[in-house]
């Protein structure tokens, strides 16, 4: 059973460009979470999704950030008009429906905004 | 709101030394508690968990006990190895959204 997959692993964007981060959950997992890790800090929750539904987006910045988890395909975290402060590691986690407290993390996407 | 506080690092130990990393939490209700480990350049791996008071989670020689009276979940290992060098995160789950709230992490460096 493959783990949570994220791509790209590293992404460089200039200020003002768009960043798209992808996450494929583990097989059988229907819950997806996105977290952001700023340098030398812990992870901060951003958004929790189930297939075609956003369940909790209380950690998402109000502007420029959006997330989706379509019926088919990976979950996408989209950042429009990136700024230097968006530089961070973005981690995706997934959990099975029968045990949503047990989250398995992907390797992360390290976004650098130049 | 709910929060997790961890001891600041780095923690530097010699191989075979005893490890304790302190973690305390603030929460309404009865959260589940977790320890995650992050090796350099990698994502987080679930190390152990406890879902109710007095539960002891254990894995790979690490253990932690959910102490409701002291709101603590300290991580311990009797004899650390160089390969245990990593950043350790304490976390709690919150509410019906299951989101994790993390501490700031504690870096452990084990010297041969």
CB contact under 8 A, A45 and B101: yes
Distance of CA A18 to CAs A5, A63, A88, B67, Å? 21, 13, 15, 45
Listed by number, the residues of chain A in 42-61 with a beta carbon closer than 8 Å to a beta carbon of chain B are 42-45, 48, 55-56, 58-59
**Cross-chain residue pair B43–A35, CB shorter than 8 Å:** no
In angstroms, the CA A35 to CA A89 distance is: 8
The whole-number average pLDDT for the span A75-94 is 96
State chain B's mean pLDDT as an integer: 93
Q: Which residue has the higher pLDDT, A97 or A69?
A: A69
Lowest-confidence region among A4-8, A35-39, A89-93, B105-109: A35-39
Tell whether the model's pLDDT for residue A1 goes beyond 70. Answer: no
Q: Beta-carbon neighbour count of residue B90 at 10 Å?
A: 30
Residue B106 pLDDT > 60: yes
Q: Is B57 at the interface with chain A, CB within 8 A?
A: no
Q: Percentage of residues in chain B with pLDDT exceeding 90?
A: 82
Q: Which of A63, A50, A62, A36 is nearest to A94 (CA)?
A: A50
Which of residues B89 and A100 earns the better pLDDT score?
Answer: B89
Contact A43/B103, CB-based, under 8 Å?
no
Q: Do B99 and A106 touch (CB under 8 A)?
A: no
- B95 pLDDT above the threshold of 90: no
Q: How far apart are CA A114 and CA A32, in angstroms?
A: 29
For the ranges A41-50, A63-72, B96-105, the one whose mean pLDDT is highest: A63-72
From A16-20, B78-82, B92-96, the region with the lowest mean pLDDT? B92-96
Residue to test with chain B: of A26, A30, A37, A42, most B Cβ within 10 A: A42
Give B78's pLDDT tier (boundaries 50, 70, 90). very high
Strands of chain B (E only): list them: 3-6, 11-14, 19-21, 23-26, 33-38, 44-50, 56-59, 62-65, 75-77, 86-94, 99-102, 106-111
Q: How many CB atoms lie within 10 A of CB B39?
A: 13
| Partner-chain contact A42 B105, CB within 8 Å | yes
Instruction: Name the band, by pLDDT with cuts 50, 70 and 90, for residue B66.
Output: very high
Mean local confidence (pLDDT), B35-64: 93
Q: What are A44's two structure tokens? A: 């901060």
B52-70 average pLDDT score: 96
pLDDT of residue B20: 97
Which chain A residues touch B99 with a CB distance below 8 Å? Answer: 33, 45, 48, 56, 58-59
pLDDT attached to residue A100: 81
Q: How far is Cα A76 from Cα A33, in angstroms, rounded to an integer? A: 11
Q: What is the CA radius of gyration of chain B?
A: 13
pLDDT at residue number A47: 96
Residues 6+ apart with CB under 8 A from A23: A4, A5, A6, A32, A34, A74, A75, A76, A77, A92, A94, A106
Question: What confidence score (pLDDT) does residue B85 get?
Answer: 96
d(CA A39, CA A113): 14
- Residue from the list A33, A102, A108 with its beta carbon closest to the beta carbon of B99: A33
Nearest Cα residue in chain A from B97: A56
**How far is residue B93 CA from its own chain's centroid?**
13
A55, A102, A108 ranked by CB distance to B43: nearest: A108
Cis peptide before B37, with omega less than 30 degrees from 0? no
């Amino acid at each position: 059973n493959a783990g949570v997959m994220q791509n790209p692993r590293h992404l460089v964007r200039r200020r003002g460009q768009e960043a798209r981060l992808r996450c494929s959950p583990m097989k059988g997992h229907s819950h997806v979470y996105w977290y952001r890790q700023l340098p030398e800090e812990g992870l901060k929750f951003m958004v929790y999704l189930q297939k075609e539904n956003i369940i909790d987006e209380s950690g998402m910045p109000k502007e420029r950030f959006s997330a989706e988890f379509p019926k088919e395909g990976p979950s996408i975290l989209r950042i429009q008009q990136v700024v230097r402060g968006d530089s961070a590691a973005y981690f995706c986690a997934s959990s099975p429906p029968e045990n949503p407290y047990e989250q398995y993390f992907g390797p992360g996407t390290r976004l650098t905004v130049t | 709101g709910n929060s997790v506080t961890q001891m600041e690092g780095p923690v530097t130990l010699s191989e075979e030394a005893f490890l304790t990393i302190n973690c305390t939490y603030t929460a309404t209700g009865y959260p589940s508690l977790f320890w995650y480990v992050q090796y350099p350049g990698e994502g987080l791996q679930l190390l152990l968990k406890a879902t109710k008071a007095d539960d002891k989670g254990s894995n790979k020689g690490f253990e932690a006990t959910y102490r409701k009276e002291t709101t603590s979940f300290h991580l311990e290992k009797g004899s650390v190895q160089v390969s245990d060098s990593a950043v350790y995160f304490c976390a709690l789950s919150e509410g019906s959204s299951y989101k994790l709230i993390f501490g700031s992490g504690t870096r452990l460096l084990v010297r041969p």
